[in-house]
Structure formats: C-alpha cells, structure tokens
Structure 1
Amino acid sequence: MGTSLQHHGAETSPPPVCRFAPSTTGPAHLGTLAAALLCWLDARSRGARLLLRLEDLDPDRCRPEHARSLLDDFTWLGLDWDEILAQRTLAAQHEAALDHLEARGALYPCDATREALRAIGRRAPDGGFAYDNRSRERPLPPGGWRACHEPIRVALPAGTFRPFDEGGLDLAQEPALAFGDPVVRRRDGAIAYQLAVVVDDAASGVTRIVRGRDIAPSTATQAALQTLLGLPAPVYRHHLLLLEARGGKLAKTHLAPRGAALGLSAPRLCGQLAACVGLLPAPEDCTPTDLLRTFDWQRVTTIDRVVRWQDGQLDATPADP
C-alpha cells in the first residue's frame, strides 16, 4: 500500500514575473532610465522575477549597437535583471499566434495608407488616426498570411474591455471602434507591436507590467488580442512620463544620460531621477538599492514632469494638465 503524502501549511503562490521592454531604436534617455528604475524598484520590492526584453523587431530602426548601449546604461545606473532576452528569439511564438488567428478567420489584408487614415479624419485615443475596419471582408490569399504581401490586420472582438490598472487609471475602451483593427504583420514582414507584446509577455509568463502612461490607450487593444489568443491578462500599472520643454514625451534623441555630456556619476543621476519622480524630497546621491529600502508607489507622483538640464542639475516641473 502506498504512502499518502500530505502538505502541511499554507500554499505559496509563485512570485510575480515583471518585465521591462525598451525598443532598441536608440540609446537610453532620461525617460528610459526613469521607467527602468521604477520597474526595477517595483519588481525587487515584491520579490518578483524581472525580465529585460530588448524589443528589436523593427528592421528599419533597431540596431545591435543600441541594444548594447541600453544594457551598458542600465548596468551603469545599478540595475540588474534575472533574464535578458531579445524579442526576435520569439519568432516561432509570433508565427504560432498568426496561425491561431488565421484559423479563427480573424486575419485580413489591408492596404490602407497613413494618408487614407488621415482622410477618414477620426482621432484615436492616443492622438493618432483611427482605422474604420473597411477591409474586414477581404480574404487572405491562397497560402494564408505567409503568402500575403500586404499589411495584415486582425478583426478585434466587439465590446468594451476593462484591463485592470493598479494605480486606478481607467483603461476601459471599445478598441475595435476607438482605434480600429490593428496591424499585426507589417508589409515588410515584421510582426507589429500590438501582437508581439501580448505574445511575448505570455511566452515569458509575465504577470505584472509597469510602464509609462503613453502606452495606456493601447491596453484595451492588447486585452482584446489576449482574449482572441486565449492568453492570460497581466496586472498593469502605468506611471508618469518625463516630457521635454515643448510638452512631448522624451525621445531617444533627448537628454541621453551617460558620458561626458552631462558629467554626472551614476549615484548623482539616480538621486536626481528619484527626486524627479517623487521618491526623494530633494536630489541626493544614491543607488537603486538605496531607494529600494523605502520604495512605495504612494510616494511616486502621478503628474507628468517637464525636465531640463540647468547648471548640471535636473530641473523637473509639473506638466500642465
């Protein structure tokens, strides 16, 4: 007769899995480092596994030297990762997702140009132009999506999606109307962002996503794709953005942090970033590990900051509402 083994004590849940996923289209800037720091602090404060995913699917803009530069910048600041992975290594999962969507009859070719979307004239929640789903009835060519030489879109399910944002941001949206069906494979064959991000997160078992508020309008579209693909929904937290003086989000060409241009040590810049986002009352030299001891999202400002360099100091002021 076999022995029955019983487990005594409370069941333990697996640790959360978090990720930071910068695109490899240029070097890090202050916004990149602030976002990486907040993601790192969130993950390390809760004992989560933390993945760095280098998004490198855009053949026109992504470069290996930018990937190396990002890694150097994160190491310089004092951030570490439990796993580092290049997005292009998930190609098999991307293709399997397209096969799944094709089997559901959800894919269709669409040759609508940006000019055509502007002519429609309907603004999407992110400020761009929405697509009116005009080509939904077009079939894929014989041979399916692999034989298609046009951009491919996916027909999103109708209805409102309500992803959960831990910071209280309202993400409810009917993405099939608000944005229209997204492109999932580009004309050049590259997998488009909206599909790649949900497939990649599921492939790595990501359960928690901390990212900038600029991505928030896309979250319902990603929730719709998760539903189509039968993938689990992570918990989201969208944080403030660092803006340039003219009001736009910092880009790869704005305020690159490392090197002689700024002349700051990593602890000096870390302290200035921490003060900028509200984790310190005033700048002081510190490391990410120092900040971890008292990290709390309640201390992080929810108001975007306009940043400028002035006399070797990072000047951050609240953005206009």
Structure 2
Amino acid sequence: MPPVFRFAPSPNGYLHLGHAYSALLNFDSARRSGGRFLLRIEDIDATRCRPEFETAIYEDLAWLGISWETPVRRQSGHLADYRQAIETLAGLGLVYPSFESRAEIARLVAERRAQAAWPCDPDGAPLYPGVAKRLPQVERARLLETGAPYARRLDMEAACAKTNAKTYAKTGALTWIEHGQGPEGETGVVAAGAEAWGDVVLARKETPTSYHLSVVVDDALQGVTEVVRGQDLFWSTSVHRLLQALLGLPPPVYRHHRLILDAAGRKLSKSTAATGLRELRGQGATSADIRRLVGLP
C-alpha cells in the first residue's frame, strides 16, 4: 500500500510560512514516495474557525502548487466519530466530567503554587488540579442534571497504571517510531510518557472533541501512515500513542520537523502579517520564493 500523508490546518486565521513549510514537506514526501496527500480541515472550534479562513487555505495551497484528494475531511462533519471514541474510553472507566471553569482552575493552580511547586505538562501548562475525579457519584449526577458546563477528561492515572517501570497495564510498552527529530535530538524509537500530561481534556460540553482525540481518530479513519508535523507537537505524540493503544488504532510513523521562526526566534503566529502567505503573495512573492524562504528546493 502507498504511504498516506496529510496536512491538517485549522481555519482560525491565515496560513503563514510555517504552515507552508509543513504542507510542502508532506506534499513533496507524498510525490517522492508515490504516496497519497490528504488535506484535512480541523474546524472543531466553532468560536474561532471561519469560512473565509477555510477558503483562504484552499487558495494559498493551490498557489503553492499543492494539490490534494477530495473530498476534504472537515472535522465538524464527523462529530459522531469522536463521540464513539469517547464512549469507548468511558466504557473502559477512563473518562470523568470536571465542572470547574478555566478561571476556577487558574485559582486552584495559584492556591497549589502558594503551598509548593505545581507540575506542568511538556507545553508548560499547569496540570489539572481539580478533584472532580473523586466527586461522589450522587454529586456528579446532580451537577450533570443542572446542565452545568463540564469537560470530559481522561483519567491519566488509571490509563497509565503500570505493571512495571516500562509497561502500562492496559496497553503494554508505549513507543513511537520517529523519523525526524525531537527538541532534544530524540529520534528512532521514542518512549511515550503520556502521564506527564495529566488528565487531558477529551471534549467539552460545547465542543464535543479535542485536538488530542480527534487527531488520532481522523488519522486512523483516513489511513494516514506518515505524520509529518512541527517539533512543537513532538511530546503530544505521547498522548496520541496512548489514545491509539486504548482505542485499538494503528499508529503511524512520525516525522517532526524544525519550526520556522520569526526574527526574534519565536514560533510564527497567524497574527504575524509579515510572514502570512496572502501578504507575501500580495507583495509579489512567487511559490518558488516561498520555497526558498523556508529552505526547500
């Protein structure tokens, strides 16, 4: 079977040079290997994703000389797939609702930090500090009945219970094959340490899936075999490998690539007009210029 690559942007802003680099790497790799190239629109955030940004994605990629298979998978059209995955995890006893708002969680973190250091995930965000997992069933049912907003979280402690230092009881040893390179030069067979992420959100009442959940479901359903993406997502792969194993999904091979940075050495943002593809095209840049700017032949 030919390898399957994908580029999966969110339509919450215009594409920039970093997106161009990742899209071109995937497209070039598919062409060289005789594989397939898919475009996926990750539009689960209804408050930030807009139709004009999705249209701009198609225009920018076509201008770069990139073509893709149709129809394009739009996450908003496949919410039932994500609900089914969550119910599978819930059937394993690994999902619980948490009712704190973001402001309440920030307050709880501040209280914990006033007493001692509080752990953060690999991205630097504080781990979930709440006690919703230990709520009595009667109180949990009462809150659900009132219609209170909640998030559905993965019970990471239960999911990552180990039989020994290297083996998870529910999934066995978890690793992934890395053909690129991590932030500290990690490559080859990489051990997945999902517990470092704490009880990650799988869905919210208003958003029925999360990035972590939808990306593994989508990759499996679309038959993606090669995930080529930025180094900023390297350690997220630990969560993805755990979810793949729990859900019985086949793991792709991963290749995390360098990031395109701005003049100050920061990761590019969709709000950075100087590196936006539409702005550069408006200034007369060509697709060949974009390849040169991101260091591709």
Shift of 1:132: 5.2
Q: Which has the larger radius of gyration?
A: 1
Secondary structure at 2:264 match in 1: coil
Shift of 1:16: 1.3
Cα 1:269–1:236 shift into 2, 3 Å = same
- Aligned residue number for residue 234 of structure 2: 216
Q: Assess if the C-alpha contact under 8 Å between 2:108 and 2:130 holds in 1.
A: no
Deviates more, 1:102-111 or 1:151-160: 151-160
Q: One-letter code of the match for 2:154?
A: V
- Aligned residue number for residue 19 of structure 2: 32
Q: Does 1:149 align with 2:149?
A: yes
Q: One-letter code of the match for 1:218?
A: S
- Aligned residue number for residue 166 of structure 1: 179
Q: How far apart are the structure 2 equivalents of 1:17 and 1:240?
A: 21
Q: One-letter code of the match for 2:7?
A: F
Highest relative contact order (Cα 8 Å, sep 6+), 1 or 2? 2
- Aligned residue number for residue 262 of structure 2: 244
Q: Does 1:81 align with 2:65?
A: no
5 Å matches for 1:183-194?
A: 183-194=201-212
- Name the structure with the higher helix share: 2
Secondary structure at 1:184 match in 2: strand
Shift of 1:72: 0.3
| Gap regions ≥5 residues in structure 1 | 1-13, 281-321
Q: How far apart are the structure 1 equivalents of 2:292 and 2:254?
A: 26
- Aligned residue number for residue 308 of structure 1: none
Q: How far apart are the structure 2 equivalents of 1:268 and 1:189?
A: 39
Q: How far apart are the structure 1 equivalents of 2:108 and 2:255?
A: 30
Give the length in aligned residue pairs: 262
TM-score by length of 1: 0.74
Q: Assess if the C-alpha contact under 8 Å between 1:29 and 1:251 holds in 2.
A: yes
Q: One-letter code of the match for 1:130?
A: L
Q: How far apart are the structure 2 equivalents of 1:246 and 1:117?
A: 34
Q: One-letter code of the match for 1:40?
A: F
| Gap regions ≥5 residues in structure 2 | 113-117, 167-173
2:106 to 98, 111, 115: 115
2:28 to 23, 37, 41: 41
1:100-146 Cα distance to aligned partner (Å, 9 max, x none)? 1121111101134341464343222122222357433445649x99x
Cα 1:260–1:149 shift into 2, 3 Å = closer
Secondary structure at 2:78 match in 1: helix
Secondary structure at 2:278 match in 1: coil
1:23 to 7, 10, 25: 10
Cα 1:117–1:225 shift into 2, 3 Å = farther
5 Å matches for 1:187-202?
A: 187-202=205-220
Cα 1:269–1:48 shift into 2, 3 Å = same
Q: Assess if the C-alpha contact under 8 Å between 1:129 and 1:179 holds in 2.
A: no
Q: Assess if the C-alpha contact under 8 Å between 2:181 and 2:257 holds in 1.
A: no
TM-score by length of 2: 0.80
Q: One-letter code of the match for 2:106?
A: E
Q: One-letter code of the match for 1:257?
A: L
CA RMSD of aligned residues (A): 2.5
Secondary structure at 2:254 match in 1: strand
Q: One-letter code of the match for 1:74?
A: L
Shift of 1:154: 1.2
1:278-309 Cα distance to aligned partner (Å, 9 max, x none)? x34xxxxxxxxxxxxxxxxxxxxxxxxxxxxx
Q: How far apart are the structure 2 equivalents of 1:260 and 1:174?
A: 40
- Aligned residue number for residue 170 of structure 2: none
1:149-198 Cα distance to aligned partner (Å, 9 max, x none)? 3111012321563221112543434212x110210112423311111111
5 Å matches for 1:1-321?
A: 14-83=1-70, 84-112=72-100, 113=102, 114-116=105-107, 118-119=109-110, 120=112, 121-131=118-128, 134-138=131-135, 141=141, 149-156=149-156, 157-158=159-160, 161-169=174-182, 170=186, 171-176=190-195, 178-254=196-272, 255-259=275-279, 263-273=283-293, 276-277=294-295, 279-280=296-297
